[in-house]
C-alpha cells in the first residue's frame, strides 16, 4: 500500500476526506518534497494539487496520488468533493493556525471541517514507525555527519571561536553530501557548555575546557542528530568523572531500550545511573526524541513521556550533565528499536577525544 492508501484506509467512511497541507506531511504522504501544495485523500482516490513550479517533477516522482496542476484551488477542490460525495474534511490541527482554520470553515461552508486532531494523530502513528527505506536515509545522513565530525576533529584548535567551529562543521557536512543541516549547529565550550542549547559565540576555545558539539545532516529530507563532547587540551579528574558518568548513562539507557518499554522507564534508567555518580540533579532535559523527516518528532523519552516504544522507531539517547557556571557534557546517539533491544545508528566513537 502507498502511504495515501494507508491514510485512506483510516478514513471513517466514503464521505470522509483528509486535507494535508503541512510541508512535512505532504512529503511523507507523497514522497515528494515541495514548499507548496496540498494533498486531498478520499477512500477512492488521492490527489496532489500543486503549482507550476513543481508540477512536472511531481508527476514523475509523487507516489499514490493523481497530480493536478493548480489553477483555481476552490473550483478544483469542490470538483473533487462533489465527485466523491465528501461531507467531512479532517485537517492537521497541529500545523493549522487559527486564521487558517477560520478560512477553511468559510471555504467549506456546506461541509463539516474536523480539527479534532484525528488526522495529525493518524499521521504521527504512521510516521513514528520507520520503513527500511527511511532508516537507510537516516543512516546516510548520519554517515555524512560523522565524516564531517571526523574531519573537524583534525582541524580545530585552541583559539578558534565557537562560531568558527560551527561554521566549519556546517561546511564539512554540506561538502560531504548533506542537502542541508538538521538544525542550527551547537558549538559550546567551557562555561557555555553548561547550557544544553547554547548558541555559538565569539568565545575562543581554551585549553582545559569541554567543547560540546550537537549537529546533524539532512539527506533526501531525512535528518540525523548526534552530540559529542571533546576536550581542548587536558581534562582534570573531575572532568573525567563527569564524562564517564554521562557515557555510562548513555550506555545503560541504550541497553534498556527494546520494544514495549515506555519512554519514561528508559529515561529513568539514565537518571538512575547519573544519580549513582552524584550528578542526577544536573540532568535537566528529557533523554531523547524521535528523528525522521523532522529532527524532533515522536516519540519522546522523558519523565513525562506518554509513549511506549515499538519496533521500527528511531530515538535519540542523549543524557547530559550541566553544572552551572562550570561546564557541561552530552553524548547523543540514535538507535533503531527492535523487538529485543536496539541497533545503534551512530558509529562515531564515544571515548574521550582530546584536541
Q: How far apart are CA 267 and CA 143, in angstroms?
A: 26
Average pLDDT of the residues in 310-333: 98
Dihedral angle, C-alpha 290, 292, 295, 301, nearest 10 °: 0
Tell me, yes or no, whether 153 and 168 share the same domain.
Answer: yes
Residues 6+ apart with CB under 8 A from 14: 42, 43, 44, 84, 85
Average pLDDT of the residues in 245-254: 98
pLDDT of residue 285: 97
Tell me, yes or no, whether 174 and 294 share the same domain.
Answer: yes
Asked if residue 219 belongs to a domain, the reply is yes
Tell me, yes or no, whether 218 and 331 share the same domain.
Answer: yes
Q: How many domains does the chain have?
A: 2
Residues 6+ apart with CB under 8 A from 208: 232, 233, 234, 235, 236
Tell me, yes or no, whether 112 and 177 share the same domain.
Answer: no
Q: How far apart are CA 145 and CA 134, in angstroms?
A: 17
CB-CB contact of 224 with 186 (8 Å): no
Asked if residue 350 belongs to a domain, the reply is no
Asked if residue 251 belongs to a domain, the reply is yes
Count Cβ atoms below 10 Å from residue 261 Cβ, excluding itself: 17
Residues 6+ apart with CB under 8 A from 352: 230, 231, 235, 240, 243
Tell me, yes or no, whether 308 and 247 share the same domain.
Answer: yes
Asked if residue 153 belongs to a domain, the reply is yes
Domain boundary among 127, 153, 176: 127
pLDDT of residue 284: 96
Count Cβ atoms below 10 Å from residue 27 Cβ, excluding itself: 18
Predicted TM-score (pTM) of the model is: 0.94
Domain with 167 in it: what CATH number?
A: 3.90.230.10
Tell me, yes or no, whether 203 and 180 share the same domain.
Answer: yes
Cell numbers at residue 213, please? 558539539
Q: Is 310 helix (H, G, I), strand (E, B) or coil?
A: coil
Average pLDDT of the residues in 44-71: 98
Tell me, yes or no, whether 229 and 102 share the same domain.
Answer: no
Average pLDDT of the residues in 140-167: 97
Asked if residue 351 belongs to a domain, the reply is no
pLDDT of residue 92: 96
Identify each DSSP E strand in 10-96 by its residue range. 16-20, 38-41, 46-50, 66-69, 88-91
Cell numbers at residue 153, please? 576533529
What is each CA distance from 338 to 21, 134, 198, 310, in whole angstroms? Answer: 32, 15, 33, 7
Tell me, yes or no, whether 150 and 289 share the same domain.
Answer: yes
pLDDT of residue 30: 97
Residue among 114, 92, 88, 125 at smallest CA distance from 25:
92
pLDDT of residue 67: 98
pLDDT confidence tier of residue 203, bands split at 50, 70 and 90: very high
Q: How long is the chain?
A: 355
pLDDT of residue 8: 98
The string of DSSP letters for 158-227 reads TT-BHHHHHHHHHHHHHHTT-SEESSPPEEEEGGGGGSTTPPP-SPBP-TTEEEEEEE-EEETTEE--EE
Supply the range of the domain harboring residue 313.
Answer: 132-344
Average pLDDT of the residues in 212-223: 97
CB-CB contact of 22 with 11 (8 Å): no
Average pLDDT, the chain: 97
Reported as a single tens digit per residue, the pLDDT across 157-195 is: 999 999 999 999 999 999 999 999 999 999 999 999 999
Average pLDDT of the residues in 271-275: 98
pLDDT of residue 158: 96
Q: How far apart are CA 209 and CA 328, in angstroms?
A: 10
Average pLDDT of the residues in 64-78: 97
pLDDT of residue 114: 96
Tell me, yes or no, whether 183 and 301 share the same domain.
Answer: yes
Tell me, yes or no, whether 79 and 157 share the same domain.
Answer: no
Amino acid at each position: 500500500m502507498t502511504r495515501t492508501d494507508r491514510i485512506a484506509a483510516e478514513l471513517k467512511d466514503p464521505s470522509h476526506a483528509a486535507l494535508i497541507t503541512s510541508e512535512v506531511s505532504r512529503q511523507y504522504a507523497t514522497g515528494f518534497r515541495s514548499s507548496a501544495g496540498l494533498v486531498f485523500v478520499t477512500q477512492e482516490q488521492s490527489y496532489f494539487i500543486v503549482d507550476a513550479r513543481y508540477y512536472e517533477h511531481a508527476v514523475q516522482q509523487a507516489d499514490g496520488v493523481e497530480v493536478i496542476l493548480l489553477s483555481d484551488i476552490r473550483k478544483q477542490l469542490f470538483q473533487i468533493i462533489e465527485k466523491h460525495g465528501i461531507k467531512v474534511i479532517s485537517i492537521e490541527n497541529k500545523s493549522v493556525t487559527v486564521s487558517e482554520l477560520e478560512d477553511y470553515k468559510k471555504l467549506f461552508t456546506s461541509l463539516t471541517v474536523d480539527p479534532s486532531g484525528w488526522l495529525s494523530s493518524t499521521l504521527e502513528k504512521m510516521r513514528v514507525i520507520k520503513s527500511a527505506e527511511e532508516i537507510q536515509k537516516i543512516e546516510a545522513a548520519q554517515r555524512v555527519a560523522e565524516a564531517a565530525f571526523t574531519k573537524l576533529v583534525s582541524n580545530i584548535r585552541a583559539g578558534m571561536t565557537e562560531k568558527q567551529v560551527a561554521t566549519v562543521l556546517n561546511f564539512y557536512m554540506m561538502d560531504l553530501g548533506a542537502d542541508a543541516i538538521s538544525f542550527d549547529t551547537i558549538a559550546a565550550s567551557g562555561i557555555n557548555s553548561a547550557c544544553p542549547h547554547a548558541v555559538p559565540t565569539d568565545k575562543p576555545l581554551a585549553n582545559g575546557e569541554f567543547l560540546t558539539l550537537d549537529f546533524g545532516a539532512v539527506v533526501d529530507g531525512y535528518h540525523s542528530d548526534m552530540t559529542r563532547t571533546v576536550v581542548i587540551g587536558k581534562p582534570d579528574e573531575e572532568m573525567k568523572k563527569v564524562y564517564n558518568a554521562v557515557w555510562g548513562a548513555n550506555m545503560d539507557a541504550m541497553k534498556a531500550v527494546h520494544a514495549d518499554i515506555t519512554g519514561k522507564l528508559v529515561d529513568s534508567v539514565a537518571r538512575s545511573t547519573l544519580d549513582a555518580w552524584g550528578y542526577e540533579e544536573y540532568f535537566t532535559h528529557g533523554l531523547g526524541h524521535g528523528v525522521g523527516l523532522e529532527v524532533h518528532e515522536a516519540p519522546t523519552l522523558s519523565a513525562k513521556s506518554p509513549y511506549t516504544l515499538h519496533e521500527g522507531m528511531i530515538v535519540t539517547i542523549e543524557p547530559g550533565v550541566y553544572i552551572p557556571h562550570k561546564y557541561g557534557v552530552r553524548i547523543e546517539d540514535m538507535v533503531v528499536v527492535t523487538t529485543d533491544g536496539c541497533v545503534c545508528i551512530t558509529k562515531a566513537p564515544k571515548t574521550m577525544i582530546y584536541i
